[in-house]
Amino acid sequence: NAGVTQTPKFQVLKTGQSMTLQCAQDMNHNSMYWYRQDPGMGLRLIYYSASEGTTDKGEVPNGYNVSRLNKREFSLRLESAAPSQTSVYFCASSNRQLILYQPQHFGDGTRLSIL
């Protein structure tokens, strides 16, 4: 049981380049989330998708876009990468839409450096 799978695990970009971070879950969860984690700060929500076909902004959405491709997959796109977007990105999923008090389950992250 893989859980939440993120690709790639590591990436180095130049300022202005674009890329898409991929996330897939095999737990049949309805809700999916993208977070960034920076030193000294808690996880911050970028975007989330409460259910297939819906997406909403989180705490720090600027500079990012998302696509909920289907129930399993939720991608995060950086259109024009900036050094401030250097971070570790985590995808998570949960069954919150069906059962209110459900924890989120996380992938192992994408370590992104922007030069």
Closest contact distance (angstroms) between CB of 107 and other proteins is 5
67 belongs to the binding site for other proteins (CB under 8 A): no
> Counting Cβ atoms within 10 Å, is residue 86 exposed (0-12), middle (13-18) or buried (19+)?
middle
Question: Min. distance of Cβ 62 from other proteins in angstroms?
Answer: 17
Question: Can residue 108 be called a binding residue for other proteins (CB under 8 A)?
Answer: yes
Nearest-angstrom CA–CA distance, 10 and 8: 6
Dig out the tokens for 41 from the structure: 């700060």
Q: Which is nearer to other proteins, 28 or 80 (CB)?
A: 28
Residue 96 binds other proteins, judged by CB under 8 A:
yes
3 state SS for 32-94: EEEEEECCCCCCEEEEEECCCCCCEECCCCCCEEEEECCCCEEEEEECCCCHHHCEEEEEEEE
- Of residues 16 through 45, those in contact with other proteins by CB under 8 A are 31, 37, 39-45
- Binding site residues, other proteins, CB under 8 A: 4, 31, 37, 39-45, 48, 50, 56, 58-59, 88, 90, 96, 100-101, 103-109, 111
